[in-house]
Amino acid sequence: MKFLTDIMLEIVKFFYAVGGNNYGLAVIWLTIAVNVALYPLTLSSIQQMAALQKIQPKIQELQKRLKDEPQKMQKEVMDLYRGEGVNPLGGCLPVVLKIPFFLALFFALQSKEFMSLVQSAGAGAGFLWVGDISKPEFLMLGTLKLPTFAILIGLTTYLMQLTMPSAQGGQMQIMTMFMPVFIAFISISFPAGVQIYWLVSNGMGAIQQYYIMKQPKKNRKKKGEQ
């Protein structure tokens, strides 16, 4: 992990130098770079999720018809996946690939090396009302201590779920409501730099998903007009 942390520190220092001499902005530029680099995988992931959603009725029919024959049902489902060109795990790849970046940044912003950089950066270590992005963010409203970034992370997580193709159902609706609250809660204690990374990544993810999901509709419309 130290190897990844050292690399992340060098990347953050690079974006600090070229992106405005501010570590908050450096994290934003880093997040944009990661999401742009992973966009082809995100595109493939969303397409796979949309395809999986499309064949859900067929899967449910197989599960209902072959509920007493689990081995045959599993074979029929796998045959359906192959026939439709669907990889049931294809939607997980971009998320999995982002985890190392997240962990490396998390540990980098809490390392002694970054603490030294913060001390020498002065105002460049802050962002907006945050004095030091290596510490958790809170906005003081009178006597109220508000974890603004954590709340925004929860909201953008919910927005991402709305733009993401997924199976319908009661359990999914419950998860759509519960997950943003849970993520917002656990992110409260994260360094502000990590919160910025998560927040910007969520925002870009929601925009990318919305754009990708709109493309098939536009293409179908164009074909219908020809």
- Domain total of the chain: 1
99 within 8 A of 198, measured Cβ to Cβ: no
Listed range (27-41, 75-89, 125-139, 160-174) with the worst mean pLDDT: 160-174
Give the pLDDT score at 34.
80
Give the pLDDT score at 174.
64
Domain hosting 218: range is 2-225
- Per-residue pLDDT for 134 more than 50? yes
Burial of residue 44, with CB atoms counted within 10 A of its CB: 0-12 exposed, 13-18 middle, 19 or more buried? middle
Listed range (13-27, 53-67, 162-176) with the worst mean pLDDT: 162-176
